[in-house]
Structures are given as structure tokens and as C-alpha cells.
Amino acid sequence: MSDIRIVIAGAGGRMGRTLLRSVIEGEGLVLAGALEHSASTHLGEDAGVLAGLGPVGVTVQSDMGSTLSGVDVVIDFSSTGSSVRLAERLADQGIAHVIGTTGFSNEDLSA
């Protein structure tokens, strides 16, 4: 069985950093990407360093396009707006989307 390639959306937050550590240290898991919003101070930072570990060669990005190539699943602890946009894109690409983001309005959920 091949490793599961995972992207963490909202990588700079408390849960995002916890997920980064779990994926980096997990067996059978590969950190394939780390996403943050375009104004994040973490852009360009190594995801392993952000997680409190050593460098892993994965840079925090804001560009979904290049980050999602060849990915199996995105674990999302970003914001409601980002989660909705990401859900639409991932559905089109057939990529699994695990959403931990909270605070959705009824309008968000019907989108």
C-alpha cells in the first residue's frame, strides 16, 4: 500500500501545526503540502520548522493549484470562506476533503 499524500490547509494555526506534526511523524503518511492565506507571515516557511520540528522540504504556500497536484486528501482547519472555495475545487478534482473548520453560516453550508 502506498503512502497517503496529505495537504494541511490552515497550517499556521494551532490545529494546523498539530496536524503538521502528526502527518510528518506518522507512518504511511506524506506531507505533500501546507496552505495558508495570502497575507500569512508563514508563507515561504518550511512546514516542519513551523510545526516545531526540523526542516522537511515542504514550504508553506498560498497557491492551491501547485499544492494540490498528486494529493490524496486535504485536511482543512482554515476559515469558512477558504473552506467553501477549497471544497468546490477539491470536489471538481476528486480529492478527499476533511473539514475541521467551524463557524459556517447556513449560507456557507448550502454553497
Overall number of domains in the chain: 1
Tens of pLDDT, residue by residue over 1-19, are: 689 999 999 999 999 999 9
Report d(CA 34, CA 11) in Å as an integer.
6
Tens of pLDDT, residue by residue over 66-103, are: 888 899 999 999 988 899 999 999 999 999 999 998 88
Per-residue confidence (pLDDT) for residue 101, from 0 to 100: 86
HEC string of the chain? CCCEEEEEECCCCHHHHHHHHHHHHCCCEEEEEEECCCCCCCCCCEHHHHCCCCCCCCEEECCHHHHCCCCCEEEECCCHHHHHHHHHHHHHHCCEEEECCCCCCHHHHHC
Per-residue confidence (pLDDT) for residue 111, from 0 to 100: 67
Output the domain CATH number for residue 24.
3.40.50.720
Residues β-bridged to residue 9: 35, 76
| Range(s) of the domain holding residue 73 | 4-110
Question: Rounded to two decimals, what is the model's pTM?
Answer: 0.92
